């Protein structure tokens, strides 16, 4: 985001905040949208374990491409990262789920610990890549990410023997003619996508805004189509269909949560760069360092959340946890509205405003995100095991895609009004979610 908006004289692309917000939101959305076909590849073709391996390799390749010091490299690199993360992200979560019994209270705790491990890397990464990118050279920062991902792949290869049978085989493998038919369809679909891109390029419509708007529409349509497919599948049982109806509500709550939450990397990141006093003892630390606040708070909070879910057991339901996450997320933007008001007139505000906002968001995230991962594995129809993890990440894709479009308003509305409007909307939605908790639990058919 900072590279996209930086002036050309400073080595950036000078894209403009409105378009950059939309690009960032859509890029995040595509990362999560590709989790859906990534789950299918694991379920039907190569298994979760190999999907994670190849995903890590492609992600590393994407970062190496971004390290090439040209303008086009960042978009080509992001495309590779999108494809690689689609293979890695849903399937590594499926493998964690395979380590626990289906309805064990320990699953929520296990996913919280898994979440803590993810965020250890998320804490360290901005400190290194941010300093190199903002203070020395943007592409050097991207190169450091490539080296980090390479070490991640090596660690995964060396540590796989500790995972037992988790993810070793496809859940529902395609064989013979069915496999050949599926691979043919994948090839045809790839050609069609390339043809559409070529038409846009030749016609002059291949602009950043056109591509972003197109991908936003695709994300929403894929979501609607996939839910329709599962709910009308005659091979799933009545109980599984009921649980999927409950999951639709959880999905909508999660998408609304991520619409606000993931603006930390776009709108809040720009606020950190332009309106925050980052000077400490004569040194102005990079704006991206504030992106490390969120993961360090998760590292601190995840064990506490894990212990809390173990202690509460089934006394607090999944829908209630989602409602708490929505309310806290909204309150963080209400506080952000106060910070924006303090910055009116060009005054620089303390970074502690953002630290407080991130702290509230993290409390909301720990109420919703690892719990949502666990609920997805519990509510999933057997036939759609890995694909359901892709569907869970699709909630983030929808939230980020729409959020990227919504973030354009931050350029036209006053910032206090922008933050207050969406903050209060999230609080109201969270309170509404509480009212429907009993009905959703009935649809979950015995799953807590």
**Taking 80 as the threshold, does the pLDDT of residue 306 lie above it?**
no
139-153, 185-199, 249-263: range with lowest mean pLDDT: 185-199
Sign of CA dihedral 157, 163, 169, 172: negative
How far apart CA 152 and CA 115 sit, in angstroms, is: 16
Q: Are 298 and 432 in contact (CB under 8 A)?
A: no
Which residues, in sequence order, are CB contacts of 150 under 8 Å at separation 6+? Answer: 60
Per-domain residue ranges of the chain:
2-159+177-443
Task: Give the tens place of pLDDT for each residue, 20-72.
Answer: 999 999 999 999 888 888 888 888 888 888 999 999 999 999 999 999 998 88
What pLDDT does 91 receive? 87
What pLDDT does 386 receive? 60
Task: Give the tens place of pLDDT for each residue, 326-336.
Answer: 999 999 999 99
**Taking 80 as the threshold, does the pLDDT of residue 73 lie above it?**
yes
Which residues, in sequence order, are CB contacts of 278 under 8 Å at separation 6+? Answer: 272, 284, 285, 286, 287, 289, 351
**Taking 70 as the threshold, does the pLDDT of residue 206 lie above it?**
no
Supply 205's token pair.
């419509």
What pLDDT does 448 receive? 64
CA-to-CA dists, residue 71 to 14, 59, 387, angstroms: 11, 19, 35
Q: Which CATH class is domain 2-159+177-443?
A: mainly alpha
How far apart CA 77 and CA 52 sit, in angstroms, is: 19
Q: Are 56 and 89 in contact (CB under 8 A)?
A: no
What pLDDT does 339 receive? 96
Counting residues of the chain whose pLDDT is more than 70, the rounded percentage is 98
Task: Give the tens place of pLDDT for each residue, 100-127.
Answer: 776 777 776 777 778 778 888 899 999 9
Burial class, 309, CB count within 10 angstroms (exposed 0-12 / middle 13-18 / buried 19+): buried
Which of the two residues, 129 and 391, has the higher pLDDT score?
129
Burial class, 102, CB count within 10 angstroms (exposed 0-12 / middle 13-18 / buried 19+): exposed
Task: Give the tens place of pLDDT for each residue, 345-392.
Answer: 888 999 999 999 999 999 999 999 888 878 887 888 887 766 677 788
């Amino acid at each position: 985001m900072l590279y996209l908006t930086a002036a050309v004289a400073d080595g950036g692309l000078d894209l403009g905040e409105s378009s950059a917000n939309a690009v960032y939101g859509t890029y995040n959305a595509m990362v999560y949208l590709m989790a859906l076909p990534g789950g299918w590849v694991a379920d039907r073709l190569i298994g979760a374990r190999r999907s994670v391996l190849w995903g890590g390799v492609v992600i590393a390749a994407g970062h190496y491409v971004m390290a090439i010091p040209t303008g086009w490299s960042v978009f080509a690199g992001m495309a590779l990262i999108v494809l690689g993360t689609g293979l890695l992200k849903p399937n590594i979560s499926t493998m964690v789920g395979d380590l626990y019994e289906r309805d064990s209270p320990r699953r929520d705790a296990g996913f919280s610990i898994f979440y803590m491990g993810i965020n250890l890397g998320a804490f360290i990464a901005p400190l290194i890549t941010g300093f190199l990118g903002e203070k020395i050279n943007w592409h050097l920062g991207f190169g450091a990410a490539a080296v980090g991902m390479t070490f991640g792949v090596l660690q995964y290869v060396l540590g796989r023997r500790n995972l037992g049978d988790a993810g070793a085989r496809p859940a529902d493998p395609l064989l013979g003619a069915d496999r050949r038919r599926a691979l043919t369809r994948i090839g045809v679909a790839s050609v069609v996508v390339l043809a559409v891109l070529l038409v846009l390029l030749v016609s002059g419509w291949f602009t950043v805004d056109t591509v972003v708007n197109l991908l936003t529409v695709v994300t929403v349509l894929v979501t609607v189509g996939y839910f329709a497919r599962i709910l009308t599948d005659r091979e799933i049982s009545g109980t599984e269909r009921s649980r999927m109806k409950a999951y639709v509500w959880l999905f909508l709550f999660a998408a609304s949560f991520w619409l606000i939450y993931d603006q930390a990397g776009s709108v809040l990141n720009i606020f950190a760069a332009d309106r925050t006093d980052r000077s400490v003892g004569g040194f102005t630390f990079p704006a991206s360092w504030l992106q490390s606040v969120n993961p360090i708070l998760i590292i601190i909070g995840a064990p506490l959340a894990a212990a809390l879910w173990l202690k509460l057991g089934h006394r607090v339901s999944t829908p209630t946890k989602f409602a708490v996450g929505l309310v806290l997320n909204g309150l963080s933007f209400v506080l952000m509205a106060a910070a924006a008001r303090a910055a009116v007139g060009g005054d620089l505000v303390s970074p502690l405003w953002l630290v407080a906002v991130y702290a509230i968001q993290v409390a909301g995230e720990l109420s919703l995100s690892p719990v949502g991962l666990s609920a997805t594995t519990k509510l999933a129809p057997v036939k759609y095991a890995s694909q359901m993890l892709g569907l869970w990440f699709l909630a983030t894709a929808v939230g980020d895609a729409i959020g990227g479009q919504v973030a354009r308003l931050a350029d036209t509305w006053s910032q206090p009004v922008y933050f207050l409007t969406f903050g209060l909307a999230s609080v109201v939605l969270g309170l509404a979610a509480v009212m429907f908790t009993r009905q959703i639990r009935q649809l979950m058919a015995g799953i807590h």
